[in-house]
C-alpha cells in the first residue's frame, strides 16, 4: 500500500529539519527521490538528511559530477540528475552499484529517471506556494511495510 502525507514548511530551516527528522526513519538501502522545480529546496532537504546522519562535511550540489558520496553513520550518495541528457550517462558511472550497497541514496530530480529507481523509492514532491515566497508544500509518498 502507498502511504502519502503532505506537509508544509515556511522557511529553509523548517525544510532542513524535515530532512533531519526523515533521516531517523531511514535505513541502509533506502532511496529518496526529490522532485520539484529549481530552488524549491531539494538540496536543503538533502543537507538535513546528511546532518541527521552525522555527516559533517559540507554538502554541495553534484550538478556537474552527478553524484557525491559522504561517509556518516550510514553512507550517503547524493545524485543530481538535472543535467543528464541520456540515462545511459548514469549507467556509465555505475548507477546500479550505488543502489546495491548499504547506503542511503538521494536523487535530486528523481522524477526524470523514475523508471530507473527501485520500486520502493520514497518520493518527495515539493511545490513552491503561489502566494507565499517561503512556503513549500511537500508530499511524501512511500510504500508502507
Ligand X SMILES: Nc1ncnc2c1ncn2[C@@H]1O[C@H](COP(=O)(O)OP(=O)(O)O)[C@@H](O)[C@H]1O
Binding residues for Mg ion, rule: CB under 5 A, are: 42-43, 61, 108
15 in contact with ligand X (CB under 6 A): yes
Residue 44: which of ligand X, Mg ion, none does it interact with, CB under 5 to 8 A by kind?
ligand X
User: Which residue in 4, 6, 11, 60 binds ligand X (CB under 6 A)?
Assistant: 11
**DSSP line for 81-130:** -TT-SSTHHHHHTTHHHHHHSS-EEEEETGGGGGGGS-TTPEEEEEEE-S
65, 77 in Cβ contact below 8 A?
A: no
Return the range that interacts with ligand X (CB under 6 A); candidates 24-32, 33-41, 50-58, 113-121: 33-41
Q: Give 1 or 38: the residue with its C-beta nearer to ligand X.
A: 38
Q: Exposure of 1 by Cβ count < 10 A (0-12 exposed, 13-18 middle, 19+ buried)?
A: exposed
User: Which residue in 23, 33, 43, 121 binds ligand X (CB under 6 A)?
Assistant: 43
42 in contact with ligand X (CB under 6 A): yes
- Taking the complex as a whole, how short is the minimal distance between the CB of residue 62 and Mg ion, in angstroms? 9
134 in contact with ligand X (CB under 6 A): yes
Q: Exposure of 43 by Cβ count < 10 A (0-12 exposed, 13-18 middle, 19+ buried)?
A: buried
105, 98 in Cβ contact below 8 A?
A: yes
Return the range that interacts with ligand X (CB under 6 A); candidates 12-20, 25-33, 90-98, 114-122: 12-20
Binding to ligand X (CB under 6 A) within 60-89 occurs at none
35, 111 in Cβ contact below 8 A?
A: yes
Amino acid at each position: 500500500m502507498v502511504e502519502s502525507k503532505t506537509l508544509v514548511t515556511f522557511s529553509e530551516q523548517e525544510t532542513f529539519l524535515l530532512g533531519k527528522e526523515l533521516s531517523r526513519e531511514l535505513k541502509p538501502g533506502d532511496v529518496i527521490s526529490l522532485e520539484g522545480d529549481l530552488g524549491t529546496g531539494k538540496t536543503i532537504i538533502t543537507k538535513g538528511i546528511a546532518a541527521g546522519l552525522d555527516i559533517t562535511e559540507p554538502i554541495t550540489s553534484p550538478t556537474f559530477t552527478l553524484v557525491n558520496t559522504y561517509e556518516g553513520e550510514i553512507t550517503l550518495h547524493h545524485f543530481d540528475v538535472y543535467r543528464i541528457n541520456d540515462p545511459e550517462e548514469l549507467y556509465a558511472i555505475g548507477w546500479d552499484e550505488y543502489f546495491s550497497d548499504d547506503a542511503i541514496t538521494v536523487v535530486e530530480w528523481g522524477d526524470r529517471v523514475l523508471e530507473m529507481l527501485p520500486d520502493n523509492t520514497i518520493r518527495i514532491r515539493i511545490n513552491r506556494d503561489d502566494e507565499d515566497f517561503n512556503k513549500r508544500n511537500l508530499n511524501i509518498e512511500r510504500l508502507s511495510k
